[in-house]
Structure 1
Amino acid sequence: MSRFYPDAPRVGVSVLCLKDNKALMIKRGKEPYLGHWSLPGGLVELGETLKQAAARELLEETGVQAALGEPVETFDSIDRDEHGKVVTHFILTVFRGSYLSGSALAGDDAADVAWVHTDDLENRPTTPGTPERIRRLMLV
């Protein structure tokens, strides 16, 4: 099923990985939101649990492993075109975890990767709601 103009929502995950009071972020290398900074993540594969998908996507996109807990948030990301037709619809579950190992390097769908302090979130283009989500979930 296509990510664009799908006939059903796509299920995805993202990870708030924390180290030294900074969040690991990726610069998106593909649409939607090409060039915007976001939490690492992606789509759940058939037969994979949400947590397995989160760990896999984090490792594939950043080379990092984290101690993931239970999900901390689930939300809809729906974009419509000028005619009101759904362009993308993702149901995203966010996991939070502390850095365990690995050197942060951009891989898979990521064009870049960075450890970002909350004071620096406004200095870069981000996917909708990402700065607020990071600040809120860092307190969980």
Structure 2
Amino acid sequence: MRVNCVGAVVLDDARRLLLVQRGHAPSAGRWSLPGGRVEPGESDAAAVRRELLEETGLEVAVGPLAGTVDLPAPGGVTYEVRDYHATVVGGALTPGDDATDARWCAPDELARLPLTDGLLDTLRAWLVLPP
């Protein structure tokens, strides 16, 4: 079974990446892009805006698709994640929903964090981060 999901690649003016620490499975305790499931009848852009607000307290304008990745999950489920570029337009950074923490990370910090599997390589391949 495939589950439609979205995420957001959000960079601030200092080129720091917005990450959330996952509070629940899969990947509880690991850092990842904010995002989640697309609700029935919801557009990707609406889902990105909703998930960012729920997980980070930030309001965003959704931009172009950064890339797509399939993530295997328990029970034969595959999360089909479409990650979009997004820009903060309001709100205040406050972790919520299933995120236990949220923060801006400089590119050189990322290798020291327990990231979700493949995140760093994927962001480099999408040219979001320097190689």
TM-score in same-fold range (> 0.5): yes
Q: Is the 8 A contact 2:5 2:37 kept in 1?
A: yes
Give the deviation of 1:79 after TM superposition. 4.3
Unaligned runs of 5+ in 2: none
Q: Give how far 1:9 is off.
A: 1.1
Residue of structure 2 equivalent to 1:124: 113
Aligned residues of 1:23 and 1:134 also touching (Cα < 8 A): no
One of 34, 45, 51 as aligned partner of 1:51 = 45
Matches within 5 A, 1:76-115: 76-79=70-73, 86=76, 88-115=77-104
TM-score (norm 2): 0.89
1:77/1:68 Cα in 2 relative to 1: closer, same or farther (>3 Å)? same
Change (3 A) 1:133 1:102: farther
The CA RMSD measured in Å over matched residues stands at 1.6
Q: Deviations over 1:42-63 (max 9, x none)?
A: 0000110011101110111000
- C-alpha deviation, 1:98, in angstroms: 2.1
Aligned to 2:123: 134
Aligned residue pair count = 127
Give, in angstroms, the shift of residue 73 of structure 1.
0.8
Whole-angstrom CA distance in 2 between matches of 1:23 and 1:102: 17
The amino acid across from 2:108 in the alignment is D
8 Å Cα contact 2:7/2:33 also seen in 1: yes
* Moved beyond 6 Å, runs of 4+: none
Opposite residue 120 of structure 1, the aligned amino acid is E
Q: Which amino acid aligns with 1:41?
A: G
C-alpha deviation, 1:12, in angstroms: 0.3
Q: Distance in 2 between matches of 1:64 and 1:102?
A: 4
Amino acid at match of 2:33: L
Unmatched runs of 5 consecutive residues or more in structure 1: 1-7
Distance 1:127 1:9, change over 3 A: same
Q: Structure 1 residues 137, 52: closer, same or farther in 2, change over 3 A?
A: farther
Indicate the SS of the match to 2:95: coil
Distance between the aligned counterparts of 1:59 and 1:134, measured in 2?
22
SS in 1 for 2:47: helix
